[in-house]
Amino acid sequence: MNARTQAWRSRWAALAPREKLLVATAAGVIALGLLWMIAIGPALGTLRASDEQRAQLDAQLQRMVALRAQAQAMQSQPRQGREEALRQLELSVRQRLGTSGRMTIVGDRVTVSLTGTSADTLAQWLAQARTAARALPGEAHLTRNASGNWEGSVVLTLPRS
């Protein structure tokens, strides 16, 4: 190692002042480039992306807070019997789905067959079935038809009394 250092020093001493300036400038440019690539560039990229990331996290937090409030509201509701749950579910099918939904009841499971139901209507009905009848969706076999509406079936589980 000592021999190499000595060789570099003798080589440096043999360079003309102009060559020394060019080598030092090149070494400085390389050092600045490495500093940018390793430390400054990634930090600036993170800083630029932070506003968008913060907005996404704020939106996610708001959704979580709303879901927590919904869960707490559902927990505070009095227990509901099977008959009341069925009545609420039938009401939601009639109100939201109309003629595009048909119910079949087997034990604690209710199968709702859908024909030509729009996505918004389906989402609203599922929300109403979940909150009013406290029915939990267990299975869904849905396909989109040519007009963009949903067809198939959704199996719900009624709450236990």
pLDDT at 133: 83
Q: Which of 29, 44, 75 is the last residue of a domain?
A: 75
Q: Please tell me the distance from the alpha carbon of residue 16 to that of residue 101, in angstroms, as a whole number.
A: 91
**Mean per-residue pLDDT of the chain:** 89
- pLDDT tens for each residue of 140-151: 999 999 888 999
Write down the pTM of the prediction: 0.55
Range(s) of the domain holding residue 127: 82-157
Mean pLDDT value of segment 39-60? 93
Inform me whether the pLDDT recorded for 36 exceeds 70.
yes
Q: Which of 75, 109, 137 is the last residue of a domain?
A: 75
